[in-house]
Amino acid sequence: MANRRSFLQSALGLTAGLFTTDKLLAATPQGQAEQLKKRRNKISGPVSNAPVVTPDVGDLPFTMDGYVKVFHLIAQVVEQQIAPGKKIHVWGFNGSAPGPTIQVTQGDRVRVIFDNQLPEPTSIHWHGFEDEIQYDGQPAISQPPVKPGERFIYEFNIHQEGTYFYHSHMAMQEMAGMLGTFVMHPKEPYRPHCDKDFAINLQEYAVLPSNTVPNTMNMEFNWLLLNGKSGPATTPLIVRLGDRVRVRFVNLGMDHHPMHIHGHTFYTTGTEGGRIPEAGWWPGNTVLVGVAQSRTVEFVANNPGDWMLHCHLPHHMMNQMSSNVGKMTRVGTTGMPAGVDMNTGMGILQGTPGAPLGDDYGTSLGRGQGFGSTADMATTNGPLSDPKAKDAMKATQQGSGQNMSGMNMGGMQMGDMKSDVAPNAGDVPNFPQDAYMEGPMMAMDKMVERPENFGLSSGWSQFMQGMMTFVRVLPPDKYDEVIARMKQANRPNDPYASILNRG
């Protein structure tokens, strides 16, 4: 029978025909669109839940105890590289802040063994869970606080579906980093099927000059993060042209974040209360993710390119919250130097020149500009002059953040030394605003090199800060190449493992 079928197929030229057609189709834009249509038709076919990928964070593994899924969650201090040259100490879980994503399925019985390795009492609240009061995680109300070195065991019958999260219920511990995503996959998979499913945690820290810990009381945030990284250190979302994509945003900070995508229209399909019935979905390209909320969006990635996905609050698209404001940042007769240490920058009396708020120095305007260590300067909006740039680069290259995992700190990209600003720039009111390229190029492409960034246009990293990442909608050949490189990297606990294993 089999032989007869293959004979018939080759007699009719079916096998060869299919091969040739597919190859031909992929060669032209029209062909690619045709393939896209084919893939989209598949969306209504049989479906299953695609595992959620949390870039830069990954999943919390589990073991089975009979029919119970058992997770082991550990609260601890974590040293985390959030941007090139910037390492901070945060409080997280199992090695990262946000903590690893927990994925379960509706109907599961789940046990979370929680260990507190922090120096003060804490507990874990399971945000949005409709479950028994003794597992709600409110210290001294629903359970005793979990003291340092102690353990508490939470148990749940998962009857909900959607995007939830876990966090400390102590306000300042939350702001020190203690949160993570908790995905409840539906027993009956959602339709239409999504080929890719991502989680992005939105966080903000106020890290004062020369500090490695966030000041949790401060409301002026200078580091804005997606999954614990600030641009350009964020790892892009890799999707194949034609994929239907789901992104789940989780916000546990002090600000609301309007999350915006380029080149596509998405539908908001879920909140922190679970799936929205399809009739209630609403289209947009920006979704406001309020504090303590989750928002799930879905779109068909039908537009090839490296598209930005970012918070649209202007101050959340910066690192160090730095602004170079007006002539005060100019040296010589037209201005005063900024970007210096706190004493000097704030004109504090210190002998020479010896006059508080004297004429020699201007205050460093903006929030955090240049204050503190020179190592920080290279990760602000850019140095002001060639000598300063060189100093900053030296500091960065010698800085503590050289050997962070997954990043090549081998050196800054020194572009051409010419300035890209107008010769009279210093005399123009309100200059500079975003003159990143004043002085040598400060692109960090090399420092954040990773397979997911392969093929991005040179210098991209210079314009990527704060809560910014990409959705890379890659045509099949480019997609295959990037995926092959990701596989080859063979990284332990790769957040993308579920996609790489699928092939």
Q: Which residues bind Cu ion (CB under 5 A)?
A: 257, 311, 313, 316
The CB-of-192 to Cu ion minimum distance in angstroms stands at: 29
How far, in Å, CA of 175 to CA of 254, rounded? Answer: 8
DSSP-derived letter for residue 466 is B
Q: Is the CB of 86 or the CB of 316 nearer to Cu ion? A: 316
Q: Is the CB of 75 or the CB of 287 nearer to Cu ion? A: 287
The CB-of-255 to Cu ion minimum distance in angstroms stands at: 6
The CB-of-467 to Cu ion minimum distance in angstroms stands at: 5
* Cα separations in angstroms, 59 against 95, 233, 244: 11, 19, 22
Q: Is the CB of 114 or the CB of 223 nearer to Cu ion? A: 223
The CB-of-233 to Cu ion minimum distance in angstroms stands at: 17
Q: Is the CB of 181 or the CB of 344 nearer to Cu ion? A: 181
Are the CB atoms for 289 and 235 separated by under 8 Å? no
> Looking at the chain, how many residues does it have?
503
Are the CB atoms for 165 and 253 separated by under 8 Å? no
What 3-state DSSP class applies to 34? Answer: helix
The CB-of-289 to Cu ion minimum distance in angstroms stands at: 8
The CB-of-257 to Cu ion minimum distance in angstroms stands at: 3
Question: How many CB atoms sit inside 10 A of residue 427's CB?
Answer: 12
How far, in Å, CA of 346 to CA of 326, rounded? Answer: 16
| Backbone conformation region of residue 259, classed left if phi is above 0, alpha if psi is from -120 to 50, else beta | beta
Q: Is the CB of 169 or the CB of 257 nearer to Cu ion? A: 257
Of 89, 162, 178, 175, the C-alpha closest to 125 is 178
The CB-of-159 to Cu ion minimum distance in angstroms stands at: 33
Q: Is the CB of 224 or the CB of 444 nearer to Cu ion? A: 224
| Residue 448 CB-density burial (10 A; 0-12 exposed, 13-18 middle, 19+ buried) | buried
Q: Is the CB of 102 or the CB of 467 nearer to Cu ion? A: 467
